[in-house]
Amino acid sequence: MSLAPLAQVAAAPARIKDIVDVEGVRENQLVGYGLVVGLNGTGDSLNNSPFTKQSLQSMLERLGVNTQGENVRTANVAAVMVTASLPPFAAQGSRMDVSIASLGNAKSLQGGTLLVTPLLGADGEVYAIAQGPVAINGFRAEGESASIVSGVPTTGRISSGALIEREIDFELGSQHSLRLTLRNSDLTTARRIAMAINDFIGAPTAVPEDPATVRLTLPVNFNGNIVDLLTDIEQLIIQTDQSAKIVIDENSGIIVMGKDVRVSSVAVAQSNLTVSIAENPEVVQPLPFSQGQTAVEPNTDLNVTQTDTALQVIKESVTLQELVDGLNALGISPRDLIAILQAIKATGALQAEIEVL
């Protein structure tokens, strides 16, 4: 295992527009429930998906078809959830993409068409209407005794499949003060953003309020509105900063270190315990004329091996490369390295925060 210093670029210069979000400029999540029709026998089983059957009957009744008391049997319909993100400042009549996901036991949405589906916001109001043919992310094919599935054929997407019916009122140009929110909160970065804006404008326009927020106020004599001000400052280059952190994903054994991680001199010893189990069943034959039966007796080979490594010294590091070289010298697996990093942190020799995903 070799640990590489992948996070050297974490504090690289960046534009203000790439590291902050502007207050009020945001997407809104929409969700809806609908039906996909036209499937080639790959839809929901109505007996096992009662919500699909109820939705189908309700839709037919609204269209003047009475199916009450009738045993509706079809496999060409699937109940789906429809999701979308309403873009900021989206105008009424414009379109947006929607995502489709099967809710019942449909096998595939290939060839299906989504019927008119209202998309609701968190306030329960309808903001868009979705409809159209579904493009799926995979395929499914089967015969009498075999089948093949590629990707996820029960999810799909409709490009420009929703028509926006309601706008979200927010007049950015009429604002005289708003907040810039850092995507990675840091006190030093927030102060650098405020200083860069004030130096560029030549007036105390920006004030850092906390590690994640910079308050921006339109100067009195500024020639333009808040949109003009944002356009002027969003291209400014900022040297971002970050706290020393090690991120660990225990499920996959991935370790990522920030460039400011430091460690004091420590000695580390590690022991590996390997247990191997092998099954070698033996066939036992009965003696002649004994009227016995041939039997299989279990035979397990159990082997335990313990490997001890000598005490290794990790010298005090000044750079990330020195720390990586010291850890690589241990020659251990990523999962063992995770435990060693946590143990070094417990001794107080690791000057960094450990975050476990």
Domain hosting 271: range is 246-279+297-356
Q: For residues 62 and 115, is the Cβ–Cβ distance under 8 A? A: no
What confidence score (pLDDT) does residue 7 get? 43
Q: For residues 341 and 350, is the Cβ–Cβ distance under 8 A? A: yes
Q: What is the mean predicted confidence (pLDDT) over 62-69?
A: 79
Identify the domain boundary among 239, 266, 288: 239
Shared domain check, 160 and 55: yes
What confidence score (pLDDT) does residue 101 get? 93
Shared domain check, 88 and 58: yes
Shared domain check, 100 and 33: yes
What confidence score (pLDDT) does residue 142 get? 65
What is the CA angle 253-258-263, rounded to 5? 90
In this structure, of 46-60, 99-113, 217-231, 293-307, the range with the lowest mean pLDDT score is 293-307
Shared domain check, 187 and 155: no
Q: For residues 268 and 311, is the Cβ–Cβ distance under 8 A? A: yes
Average pLDDT for the chain: 81
pTM above 0.95, yes or no: no
Choice between 98 and 267, residue whose per-residue pLDDT is larger: 98
Reported as a pLDDT band with limits 50, 70 and 90, residue 267 is: confident
Q: Which of 28-32, 37-41, 87-91, 237-241 has the highest mean pLDDT?
A: 28-32
Shared domain check, 146 and 33: yes
Position 8 pLDDT exceeds 50: no
Position 160 pLDDT exceeds 70: yes
> What's the CA gap between 351 and 131, in Å, rounded?
55
H-assigned helices in 105-243: 187-201, 226-233
> What's the CA gap between 10 and 184, in Å, rounded?
11
Residue 278: exposure state from Cβ atoms within 10 A (0-12, 13-18, ≥19) = exposed
Distances (CA, A) of 344 to 6, 281, 350: 21, 46, 6
Distances (CA, A) of 286 to 86, 87, 281, 289, 293: 77, 79, 16, 8, 6
Choice between 295 and 217, residue whose per-residue pLDDT is larger: 217
What confidence score (pLDDT) does residue 157 get? 93
Q: How many domains does the chain have?
A: 3
* Residue ranges with strand state E in 71-205: 77-86, 95-102, 113-120, 126-133, 135-136, 139-142, 147-150, 155-164, 177-182
Domain assignment present for residue 208? The answer is yes
Reported as a pLDDT band with limits 50, 70 and 90, residue 317 is: low
> What's the CA gap between 182 and 275, in Å, rounded?
49
Q: Which of 69-73, 98-102, 260-264, 294-298 has the highest mean pLDDT?
A: 98-102
What confidence score (pLDDT) does residue 254 get? 79
Q: Which of 204-208, 318-322, 329-333, 339-343 has the highest mean pLDDT?
A: 204-208
